[in-house]
Amino acid sequence: MEKRRLGRTELEVPALCLGTMMYGDQISGDDAVLQMDACFDRGINFLDTAEMYTVPPKPETQGESERIVGRWLAARKNRDKIILATKVAGRSPAAYMRPEGGETRLTPDQIRFAIERSLKNLQTDYVDLYQLHWPDRPVQLFGAARAGYVYSGEKGVPIEETLGALGDLVKEGKVRHVGLSNETPYGVMRFLAAAKELDLPRVVSIQNAYNFLNRTFETGLAEIAMEEQVGLLAYSPIAQGVLTGKYLDGKNPAGSRKALFDRVQRYETPGADEAVRGYVALAEKFGVDPAAFAMAFVTSRPFVTSNIFGARTLDQLETIFASLNVEWTQDMENAVNELHGRKQNPCP
């Protein structure tokens, strides 16, 4: 398994990372164990979760992903061999996430509560990477940007205050490194500036969506990733399964995310179907499974530190593994970029 350096740290992570977002609802605890075992056997020892998971988020299953991972770590007694990442929720109205109710915010008190609960769920005394799941200040997230940019002017918890709280956790040994998620170029640079000015932990990564249908990371953030060594932990590389082509022509396979939860609207925008059809056709032209083709593209990007994937079945997991054997050629690059030029970012 290829290893890549995490930011400017000495920690090396595999090129693929197992995302556990679906553990506890769409994926049962028993099936999750089979997945984690299979990935570990393949050298994928990087696991990503979050305090809000499973998804779709709801009070009944909040934290279940972490608890499943924690039980696996305890049973396998392999914590020292695992690179473990989790996240604290940004600003949201999910009052059930906090004992006092109200909004989730990136305040020192809430960050403290969240990490202590996550450590208990994960049955460990530290996490290797602790990420801010999304910003505290209002930004357009999860596809909202396609409606046009809107600046509210509303401020969030000061970045210096949030980073200071993370710095305390690093000093205490509860967190080794800190990262961002669903961030903007402005946000990343503000965190880097605060770290330098106040001698606080430097963010090592950013976890944003990146795939054939959404290459917006390449505008602004990719340059930061390369110049500042804040690499991308790419999520949604197969666009929630859309890039497999399984939803084309109105199909809705049993057991799929769309069939169960109807939560793939981010990839159901005008022009998306036509673009998906084009990428599926390119995969077939090159003799590669569409999911493996989409995965190989993301993994091959120089600004990607690790490619976070999810799989519902072991067969799907084997397709993910197969993507590592896809040699990304210049012909593939040219064909993908030609299609991208005609169908740019239909699902930002």
Enzyme catalytic residues: 53
Q: Within a 10 A sphere around the Cβ of 262, how many other Cβ atoms?
A: 11
| CA–CA distances in Å: residue 167 to residues 80, 86, 192 | 22, 16, 13
Q: Which residues contact 190 (CB under 8 A, 6 or more apart)?
A: 159
**Burial zone of 76 (CB within 10 Å; 0-12 exposed, 13-18 middle, 19+ buried):** middle
Instruction: Single out the residue of 5, 33, 18, 137 nearest to residue 86, CA to CA.
Output: 18
Residues in the chain: 348
Side-chain half-sphere CA neighbours of 173 within 13 A: 2
Q: In whole angstroms, what is the distance from residue 98 CA to residue 90 CA?
A: 12
Backbone phi and psi for residue 238, each to the nearest 5 degrees, phi listed first: -105, 15
Q: Quick one: DSSP state of residue 231?
A: E
Q: Buried b vs exposed e over 187-213: b needs ≥16 C-beta within 10 Å?
A: bbebbbebbeeeebbbbbbbbbbbbbb
3-state secondary structure of 29: helix
Question: ∠ CA(211), CA(54), CA(144), 5° rounding?
Answer: 45
Question: ∠ CA(280), CA(282), CA(288), 5° rounding?
Answer: 80
